[in-house]
Amino acid sequence: MIGILLGTRPEIIKMSPIIRECERRDLDYFILHTGQHYSYEMDRVFFEELELPDPDYNLDVGSGTHAGQTAKIMAGVEDVLIKESPGIVLVQGDTNTVMAGALAASKLHIRVGHVEAGLRSFNRRMPEEINRVVTDHISDYLFAPTENARMNLLAEGIDDKKICVTGNTVVDAVYQSLEIAKKRADTLKDLDLEPRNYFLVTAHRQENVDNRARLRGILEGLIEVQKEFPLPVVFPVHPRTEKRIKELGIEVNGLNLTKPFGFLEFLQLESQAKLVLTDSGGVQEETCILGVPCATMRYDTERPETLDVGSNILVGTDAETILEGVRSAAARKQSWKNPYGDGIAGKMIVMVCTAARTQ
């Protein structure tokens, strides 16, 4: 049996190809949703949109301190793992769910597979970096998305026999989800947007939106971008970001602030944008896959492959550097090669997991 653990919406998206492959092969598996960001009731729409089966278990741990949330997840996961006794547990990415799930499984002597292993920002001040490193070092199977990720793991002394370069499941997810989106939405028409004639923005990272100086720089930079380029700037605002913007009291006239979109709607917007400005790791990957230039409002990234191929540029959070970066990124030719694989990562991961059952 395969246990699939997830707790955030990006994890649902990136685990979706693995779930679909388990379904296709009629394998014995279960899904455990920790509710790290939202309850399952709030995430249900994601499962419905992506045409995925409902989770078998929901912990609904909710928000809290890193230590408190991690402890709740570990306790809940442990109870389920003792009951189900899977042969392998799969976790994806760098959240508290990932580290807590991997720790719970490892202490029960259940094999752990880390999907998207080996990513490094080399910034230990990021909680996500701690989660990645710990999970990688206690995992039995490390599914690295790229050769660069594999080299990071080898540099930390991890046995090469544990590592499998699979490509990134986000490629599978993007291709599969775009097909679903075509049947369900026409977001550009709804917003009266023309393909390649608007900018798309996301900003949600704690180190950006909870830092008044950084958030002010981001907002002022976006305003300058809107002034220089005669194009709509569409900014789906996360609730926490919206609250912080109001606290700053900055007038954001000219920016098209909208409610957050569902993944399929957002994917349509992302795929047709002239350029995307973001602080999200997943969006850096998605834009690279979709052939859309990206300007990342951070000072480091655990997705260096996007920088190497030229799909992405780091612009920080200063208004002037954001504007300069957008000028540069918007002028780039969209001719890079996708470094994240050819859309069969989910199949490869499930194949390794099923082979592991016989060992």
HEC string of 186-238?
A: CHHHHHCCCCCCCEEECCCCHHHHCCHHHHHHHHHHHHHHHHHCCCCEEEECC
Residues 326, 342: Cα–Cα separation, whole Å: 28
Amino acid at 291: G
pTM, to two decimals? 0.85
31-40, 160-169, 199-208, 281-290, range with the lowest pLDDT: 31-40
Residues 332, 112: Cα–Cα separation, whole Å: 41
The three-class DSSP label of residue 334 is: coil
Residue-level pLDDT at 357: 62
Cα–Cα distance list, 132 to 51, 117, 119, 257 (Å): 29, 7, 7, 33
Fold (topology level) of 187-330 = Rossmann fold (3.40.50)
DSSP letters of 247-270?
HHT---TTSEEEPPPPHHHHHHHH
Please identify which of the residues 109, 114, 137, 204 carries the catalytic annotation.
204
CATH of domain 2-168+342-356: 3.40.50.2000
pLDDT in tens, 40-88: 777 888 899 899 999 999 999 888 889 999 999 999 999 999 999 999 9
pLDDT in tens, 222-254: 999 999 998 999 999 988 888 888 888 888 888
The three-class DSSP label of residue 292 is: coil
DSSP letters of 273-310?
-SEEEE--HHHHHHHHHHT--EEE-SS--S-HHHHHHT
Asked if pLDDT for residue 38 goes beyond 80, the answer is: no
Amino acid at 274: K
Domain chopping of the chain, boundaries:
2-168+342-356, 187-330
Mean pLDDT of 152-181: 96
Non-local CB neighbours of 301 within 8 Å, separated by 6+ positions: 121, 281, 284, 307, 312, 314
Same fold, 2-168+342-356 and 187-330: yes
Residue-level pLDDT at 206: 83
Tokens of 145: 């998305």
Amino acid at 77: V
Q: Known catalytic residue: 137?
A: no
Mean pLDDT of 114-122: 95
Residues 82, 206: Cα–Cα separation, whole Å: 34
Residue-level pLDDT at 183: 86
Backbone angles phi, psi at 121, to 5 degrees: -95, -15
